[in-house]
């Protein structure tokens, strides 16, 4: 348990932590451990004398040592393993390291390297973090959640591991994505890590490779489906509501058959959010908004083709459609500007498609003037040839699916095509930016899901933006935990989108990126938190404070990775 209390000295006003832990218990607590940065006085009063070498190290020296060690690792996976071990040993040092070297470190702890770490989770597992709620333990959820490190929980990130990035079912190892997400909440918006709880719902796996792996750490059983699964989710939500009545519940990487249904079931019952649906849609809409402003175009004039019609694709389409409606189109006019392609081609009425996909299914009569080979499976190439999309978005996890012929065809009909291969990790990307620039004669506006270097084409630099949800969900989360609204409304998400779009560097310089630098994430996320909080009060959803206290409440929820003095209690 997090056995410390933040206090201020009555005479000096200096903040310090009153510590009840001693000796090994303190050193083994990653939230409190300072390693060799414990002072002589702290070592004596907290039972640490003799447990550490005599020398003291300040945090700057520790950072230099950590950076030297991570740079010595030969592979990105080994760097990820080192950073995970540092997080498990000394949280403050970990967050300071990542904060000070954010562009270098975030790809190592999140996309794309987190995918490789999760795929190898059972083989690199070292120390538990978070709570594992396995289906056989379903009747003991209260007890299991009481085993958490800390008492106060503002934010829970939960996954069932079924659709991890573009890797699919990763079973119990999926909890790694919740750990990564929560780290970004802290890095990008400053939410205190001691109020964040990662949760893995282990309902089995259909990944045969995992089931056959003798080292697999999860419940060795096929995935629970149907009524049993729904009952398990309901039991989890009820337990969370009872134990943490004002918690912000973030759903992450649930499968296509469950994600939208779960969100729609619970979004009016508690303060909840699905990053794959709402977060991805928000950052894409903000990026496209910045691109359209840069080229003096409007949402209402766009035609959008999607390769991939799962929860991410439909979530993006929903928010883009709403932007078109706000720009003057009717709901039906906007709907007809979206072409979503799934495993069976363009979505059409009469196909066996999920309920959340049906709003985007075309009536075959609407395609009577099109030319295609097979009416039952209209391909991306045929959509591009017939619909002349201005925006092409990839959320399919099909590497190389944006072929040269498709991209060249698009570029013959659109002066400044907006092309966004968003699938993660990099190995699943629909196209690499160098090819997209070459195939479009350098005219494409490109944004990706994974980090890529800017493109050099015929003597000029084409700036790339990573559509990183880290620009949306941390700021949204900070605004939410500060105001504790009853629900996360569409208006709150729209405020986050508009604020991020207003921060686009390209608005000041057309040759700049569409999204801010990661180094500016703290500043951007704070602006987003303020905008989200203002809407929470305007819509009368906030359950604490008032609008005049918003900035103070955000300050109170913002944590900095620095060592505080410790005093024995």
State the CB neighbour count (10 A cutoff) for residue 238. Answer: 12
* 247 close to 153: Cβ distance less than 8 angstroms: yes
Spell out the alpha helix ranges (H) of 354-489. 380-387, 404-413, 433-439, 473-483
Q: What is the 3-state secondary structure of 471-490?
A: HCHHHHHHHHHHHCECCCCH
Q: 449 with 467: CB under 8 angstroms?
A: yes
Among candidate residues 181, 484, 513, 557, the one labeled active-site is 181
In 275-367, alpha helices (H)? 280-294, 311-326, 331-335
**Three-state DSSP state, 191:** strand
Tell me if 553 is assigned to a ligand binding site.
no
253 labeled part of a ligand binding site: yes
CA distance linking residue 95 with residue 101, whole number of Å: 10
State yes or no: 76 annotated in a binding site.
no
Q: Is 121 among the catalytic positions? A: no
DSSP conformational letter for 564: P
192 is in an annotated binding site: no
Q: Is 274 annotated to bind ligand? A: no
3-state DSSP call for residue 390?
A: coil
State the residue for tokens 């909080």.
533
User: What 3-state class would DSSP assign to 127?
Assistant: coil
248-251 and 304-307 strand pairing: unpaired
Distance CA 298, CA 495 (A): 19
Q: Dihedral, CA atoms, 474, 479, 482, 486, nearest 10 degrees?
A: -110
Rounded Cα distance, 156 and 370, in Å: 48
Give the number of other CB atoms < 10 A from CB of residue 486: 16
Catalytic residue list contains 229: no
Question: Which residue pairs from 369-378 have beta carbons closer than 8 angstroms and sit at least 24 positions apart in sequence?
Answer: 374/345, 376/344, 376/345, 376/348, 376/351, 377/344, 377/345, 378/341, 378/345, 378/346, 378/348
Q: What tokens does 97 get?
A: 């390291």
Task: Report the distance separating Cα 169 and Cα 58, nearest Å.
Answer: 43
**Cα(337)–Cα(327) distance, integer angstroms:** 13
Catalytic residue, from 79, 95, 110, 566: name it: 110
User: How far apart are alpha carbons 88 and 183 in whole angstroms?
Assistant: 12
The answer to whether 190 touches 522, Cβ cutoff 8 Å, is yes
- By CB atoms closer than 10 A (0-12, 13-18, 19+), residue 7 is middle
Binding residue per annotation — 469?
Answer: no
Catalytic residue numbers, as ranges: 110, 181
Annotated binding-site residue numbers for a divalent metal cation: 252-253, 276
Annotated binding-site residue numbers: 163, 252-253, 276, 424, 468
Annotated binding-site residue numbers for (S)-malate: 163, 424, 468
């Amino acid at each position: 348990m997090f056995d410390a209390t933040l206090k201020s000295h009555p005479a000096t006003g200096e903040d310090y932590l009153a510590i009840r832990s001693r000796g090994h218990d303190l050193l083994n607590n990653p939230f409190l451990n300072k390693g060799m940065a414990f002072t002589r006085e702290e070592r004596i009063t907290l039972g640490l004398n003799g447990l550490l070498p005599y020398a003291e190290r300040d945090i700057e020296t520790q950072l230099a040592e950590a950076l030297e060690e991570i740079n010595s690792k030969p592979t990105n996976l080994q760097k990820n393993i080192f950073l995970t071990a540092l997080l498990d040993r000394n949280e403050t040092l970990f967050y300071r390291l990542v904060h000070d070297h954010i562009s270098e470190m975030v790809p190592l702890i999140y996309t794309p390297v987190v995918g490789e770490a999760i795929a190898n989770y059972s083989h690199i597992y070292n120390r538990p973090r978070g709570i594992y709620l396995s289906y056989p333990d379903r009747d003991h959820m209260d007890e299991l959640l009481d085993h958490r490190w800390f008492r106060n929980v503002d934010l829970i990130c939960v996954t069932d591991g079924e659709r991890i990035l573009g890797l699919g079912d990763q079973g119990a190892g999926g909890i790694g994505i919740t750990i990564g997400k929560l780290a970004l909440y802290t890095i990008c918006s400053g939410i205190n890590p001691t109020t964040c709880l990662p949760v893995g719902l282990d309902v089995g796996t259909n990944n045969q490779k995992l089931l056959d792996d003798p080292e697999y750490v999860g419940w060795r059983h096929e995935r629970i489906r149907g009524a049993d699964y729904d009952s398990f989710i309901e039991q989890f939500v009820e337990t969370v509501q009872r134990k943490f009545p004002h918690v912000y519940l973030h759903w992450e990487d649930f499968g296509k058959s469950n994600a939208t249904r779960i969100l729609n079931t619970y979004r009016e019952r508690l303060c909840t959010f699905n990053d794959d649906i709402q977060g991805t849609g928000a950052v894409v809409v903000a990026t496209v908004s910045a691109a359209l402003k840069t080229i003096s175009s409007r949402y209402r004039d766009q035609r959008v083709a999607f390769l991939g019609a799962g929860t991410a694709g439909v979530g993006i389409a929903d928010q883009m459609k709403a932007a078109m409606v706000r720009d003057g189109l009717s709901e039906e006019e906007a709907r007809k500007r979206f072409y979503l392609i799934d495993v069976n081609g363009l979505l059409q009425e009469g196909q066996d498609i999920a309920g959340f996909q049906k709003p985007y299914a075309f009536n075959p009569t609407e395609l009577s003037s099109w030319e295609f080979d097979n009416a039952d499976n209209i391909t991306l190439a045929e959509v591009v040839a017939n619909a002349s999309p201005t925006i092409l978005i990839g959320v399919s996890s099909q590497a190389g699916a944006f072929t040269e012929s498709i991209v060249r065809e698009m570029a013959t009909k659109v002066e400044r095509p907006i092309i966004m291969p968003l699938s993660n990790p990099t190995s699943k990307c629909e196209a690499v930016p160098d090819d997209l620039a070459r195939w479009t004669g350098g005219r494409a506006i490109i944004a990706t899901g994974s980090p890529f270097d800017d493109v050099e084409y015929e003597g000029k630099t084409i700036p790339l933006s990573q559509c990183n949800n880290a620009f949306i969900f941390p700021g949204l989360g900070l605004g939410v935990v500060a105001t504790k609204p009853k629900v996360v409304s569409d208006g709150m998400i729209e405020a986050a989108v508009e604020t991020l779009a207003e921060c686009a560097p390209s608005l000041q310089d057309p040759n700049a990126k569409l999204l801010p630098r990661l180094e500016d994430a703290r500043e951007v996320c704070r602006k987003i938190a303020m905008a989200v909080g203002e809407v929470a009060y305007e819509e009368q959803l906030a359950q604490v404070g008032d609008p005049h206290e918003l900035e103070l409440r955000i300050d109170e929820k913002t944590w900095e990775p620095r060592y505080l003095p410790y005093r024995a209690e």
